[in-house]
Amino acid sequence: MKAATSVVFDAIGGFLVDDGWPIASHIALSMLTSMFPFFIFVTALASFLGTSDLVSEATKLIFEAWPSAVAGPIAHEVQDVLTQPRGGLLTIGAVLALYFSSSGVEALRTGLNRAYDALDHRPWWLLRLQSILFMMVASFGLLALAFLVVLGPLIWTQVLEVAPQLEPLQRLVTIARLGVATVILCVTLLVAHLWLPAVKLRLVDVAPGVILTFVGSVGFGEAFGLYLSEFARNYVSTYAGLASVMITLVFLYVMAAIFVFGGELNAAILRAGRREKVRARRAARVRGAGARHLERRG
């Protein structure tokens, strides 16, 4: 318990020293401004692949894990943007959308490098290309998941025709949708911690922070949703037409802070492990020196 408490306080201290709150603010704003370019690129990609109907389903998957009070207004704005006619995948607009959407990845990279005390000496263009590749893979993966979610009910209908006694299990469809959103969040967190920072980490090294981020994000999402259900009018009276934007920014800000603290927790655990190894080596040397001294006296 003492060791765990020491790690937690070390993580808190690292979060404050590494400007965790300003970094979280940077991530939140970058994620909000990257969201629309990302969906614009997803729309262009879906049109290029001939699956433009999947864009709406892909949007739902992204906002599935968000509180409804937060997801509702921003999802409506996203849908308004996506319903505008656009050109194909290889248009200048789609390329620019892909480039600007990668800014959110760069913000996550900055937060993780601060958390893991890593200095990134790679050239900026290589990092930007990596972020763009990240967004391209995310776009393809999101459309693939959306296709599976759309295909799922069709397969279920065929199953019910063969085995109608399985109809009471229809509720599993809702659980499956939430499961898909959960998988998206977990995979995104793992890839971010393993791929983005300028330090090589193992799965076991990042697991504690990923678990904390996931649990903390779900818990905060539920609590924030309950808070908005009671006090959303306060935002409306304060920010008027900007209420939905401010609600989204506050939500993303706290989520980003949880994400950065997850990285700080991983770094604190790694530091504690290194200190323990140093103490173990010192103790082994002391024991070895003592044994040699006894041998000489004997």
pLDDT tens per residue across span 80-117: 766 665 555 556 767 788 888 898 999 999 999 999 99
The boundaries of the domain holding residue 127 are 20-263
Q: What is the 3-state secondary structure (H, E, C) of the chain?
A: CHHHHHHHHHHHHHHHHCCHHHHHHHHHHHHHHHHHHHHHHHHHHHHHHCCCCHHHHHHHHHHCCCCHHHHHHHHHHHHHHHCCCCCCCCCHHHHHHHHHHCHHHHHHHHHHHHHCCCCCCCCHHHHHHHHHHHHHHHHHHHHHHHHHHHHHHHHHHHHHHHCHHHHHHHHHHHHHHHHHHHHHHHHHHHHHHHHCCCCCCCHHHHHHHHHHHHHHHHHHHHHHHHHHHHHHHHHHHHHHHHHHHHHHHHHHHHHHHHHHHHHHHHHHHHHHHHHHHHHHHHHHHHHHHHHHHHHHHC
297 is a domain residue: no
Q: What is the pLDDT of residues 227-237, one digit of tens each?
A: 877 776 666 55
Residue 273 lies in a domain: no
Identify whether 282 is part of a domain. no
pLDDT score recorded for residue 166: 67
Question: Is residue 97 one of the residues assigned to a domain?
Answer: yes
Count of structural domains within the chain: 1
Question: Residue 10: inside a domain, yes or no?
Answer: no
Query: 227 lies in a domain?
Result: yes
User: Is 156's pLDDT higher than 90?
Assistant: no
Q: Is residue 274 part of a domain?
A: no
